[in-house]
Chains A and B, each alone.
Chain A
């Protein structure tokens, strides 16, 4: 069941009604209902997926309890040497189980294939067969939630919950189950452990956020996807300028698609009285790469920073080591995105770009001060354009099937046809450009808000409703083919 389907519209209507009108007397009953609804939502894809998420949830829940019990019995003083520390072993076992499952589904074929290829270089042919299995939707997201829960318990950042239903709700809460935001136990579990009251302003804003998410996904991202498909299938005949435009469209498509999903997820959760973390802060208006990753896929970036980058960095202040940690973190982030060398290289490049961007921060600030550029709009627009240009150049790494085809695409961009006028009419109606511009303008003027349709400042009800009707009319008219969410594959 995907958010941009009629099935989901009916589902959320039923869930909302039952949640607030039938099960509203007791929050525990509401939690049970959330778990049932979430399992129904997830099982709609394939009921086999439920086995895996149940197993992961149970392992994480009981390992947390066991670790706590051991810790209690030792009178709160943990053994300092890790191999003598029972808590360490329990948590490590749970992390290993989760990673093995993730590895099996997501990375097994990739590693086996590379292993076989590596041996064939030395003339040795190995007969290891790859697996024909379907990657469960959202496995990376809920596995990472399980990992953070276990690590937080070990680090004493969180207390294991004894309420199994609340924990199941934390792991499977349907709005964020398939593509995040990746929530932390400390943020989400406490919300399931107290009564929830219907909050009118929050619910109304949740609906606005859903509407804006649907607009971004159905209208902008899906229409861009049609153009991109056309461009990608005609790379041999289209000029470099069109291919560059296609790559820029891909960057926009991924953003509008994923942030659209996150907006719908957050909005739906708010309708149920639950607050999810913010996942995007208008990254397309980022002025540096470090800034881009502070604004883009925030929950996952925060996860990588907290569980990989900071532990690696320790108390070191050496710039070279700092750069090394950033690059390693983004290599893992690349690998998380997919079992392909393209993603690893994509992560590596992003790591390098962030390092350069941060290393040169002092020079940038001096430059801005010298020429009084701080806060100047045109200067900001130039910086945004540079970031977008670089993202468009490395974009094919994110969307290509192999490194060879990615470089082939990039090579074709930088051909002699780079500076001729891109072909417009053959692959995109004017309406696509018009829709993108509308979306970007909304986002630009609402940058300070949580989402672009947060209309707190608009006092006139008629104007607010006119804007909603305008957005609904655009969805109705320009919504088309259901394209799956890009991040479901991760």
Chain B
């Protein structure tokens, strides 16, 4: 038994020493190369930052919005948006507007539940774990290998496939900052259009999980307040954007969420603008699926966004529905 324990001890020490040897160098490179403030710098002409989930990712094409940059990551929870926003605001004093995705499904409980889902974590940790603060880590802490690996990799520098490949990427000659995993983009769906009952059922299940108990996502609401406070602190106007929905999808949204969405809108902080296009009438050919616009729909909405925003400011009306 003594021999067994000694061998285990030696082996563990060997593994720990090897990990320690690399982790010092790795941590230095992560700080220098990956968390480099330059990686969050947008062009000087960028005054509007679009951030959030697929609703803004597919419907706001920066090509048609002067001074805008779309940094969307599909399926992103406000907890992650807040984390990225901190870095963007810190390094871009020229920003005037933050456009944040805000929809019926955003406030629904499944959005919070998804945070601790293994596959969801696997996807987002690879993209944004390195940016997360202590408070956010507290919410995301699980005892599965994905969390443990990412924690060791990004916070302690233990070599892993994620941090090594990203460090390698930042050292390449043709390295592009906007190709980093925590940088988002607008996704052009062209003229693809699948608005049918099959898509409706898939999306309803994904957004509202009808077979489970209905409820709100408290973490989303908490982080909405945090984002609003952060924007106010940075002298940036926060604009919540509700993307157009197909009639098929809008009519199928559970009444509970429709009512709660209206309540949440009424309780928004005064400094927050709301552009609600949910009932904006567009033909089905403008939708990629039942609740996302395609390239055609995105062009229509993006082209009028700035005008609508100006009107909102001029009239001193904070909420506008279409």
Q: Do A and B bind each other?
A: yes
Interface, chain A (partner B; CB < 8 A): 5-7, 20, 198, 200, 203-204, 218, 226, 465, 468-469, 472, 475-482
Within residues 1 to 23 of chain B, which ones have a CB less than 8 A from any CB in chain A?
1, 3-4, 7, 11, 14-15, 18
Give min CB distance, B7 to chain A, whole Å.
7
Chain B residue, CB-CB nearest to A197:
B1
Q: Could you list 13 further interchain pairs (A-B, Cβ under 8 angstroms) beyond the known A472-B15, A480-B118?
A: A6-B148, A20-B1, A200-B3, A465-B11, A469-B15, A476-B149, A476-B160, A477-B160, A480-B146, A481-B118, A481-B119, A482-B118, A482-B145
Residues of chain A lying within 8 A (CB to CB) of residue B1: 20, 198, 200
Which residue from chain B places its CB closest to the CB of A476 in the assembled complex? B149
Q: Tell me if B174 is interfacial: C-beta within 8 Å of chain A.
A: no
A5 touches B4 (CB 8 A): no
Residues 118-148 of chain B, each 1 if its beta carbon lies under 8 Å from chain A, else 0: 1100100000000000000000000111101
Q: From residue B97, how far is it (CB to closest CB) to chain A in Å?
A: 36
**Complex-state Cα separation, A478 to B148, whole angstroms:** 12
Q: Which residue of A lies closest to B120 (CB)?
A: A481
What is the interface residue range for chain B against chain A?
Answer: 10 to 19
Rank and list the top 9 A-B pairs by shortest CB-CB distance, nearest first: A481-B118, A6-B143, A479-B145, A477-B161, A198-B1, A480-B122, A481-B119, A200-B4, A482-B144
- Chain B residues with CB below 8 A from A480, complex form: 118, 122, 145-146
The secondary structure that dominates the A interface is: helix
Q: How far apart sit A5 and B14, CA to CA, in the bound complex (Å)?
A: 24
Q: What is the CA–CA distance of A472 and B119 in the complex, to the nearest angstrom? A: 22
**Across the two chains, which residue of chain A brings its CB closest to B161?**
A477
Contact assessment for B143 and A198 in the assembled complex, using a CB-CB cutoff below 8 Å: no
A411 to chain B, nearest CB (A): 20
**Which residues of chain B are within 8 angstroms of A218 by Cβ–Cβ distance?**
145
Given contacts A6-B148, A468-B11, A469-B15, contact A203 B4 (CB under 8 A): yes
Chain A residues whose CB sits within 8 angstroms of the CB of B15 once the complex forms: 469, 472
Q: In the complex, A200 Cα to B1 Cα: how many Å?
A: 7
How far, in Å, is B194 (CB) from chain A's closest CB?
Answer: 12
Q: Which residues of the partner chain B approach A198 to less than 8 Å between Cβ atoms?
A: 1, 4
Q: How far is the CA of A481 from the CA of B11 in the complex (A)?
A: 27
Task: Known contacts A476-B149, A480-B122, A481-B118; decide if A465 and B14 are in contact (CB<8 Å).
Answer: yes
Contacts of A478 in B (CB 8 A): 161
Alpha-carbon gap, A7 to B143, bound state (A): 8
A481 vs B18: C-alpha distance in the bound complex, in angstroms?
26
How far apart are the CA atoms of A15 and B191 in the complex, in Å? 61
8 sample A-B contacts, Cβ–Cβ < 8 Å, listed by A number:
A198-B4, A469-B14, A469-B15, A477-B149, A480-B118, A480-B122, A481-B144, A482-B145
State the CA gap A198–B1 with chains docked (Å): 7
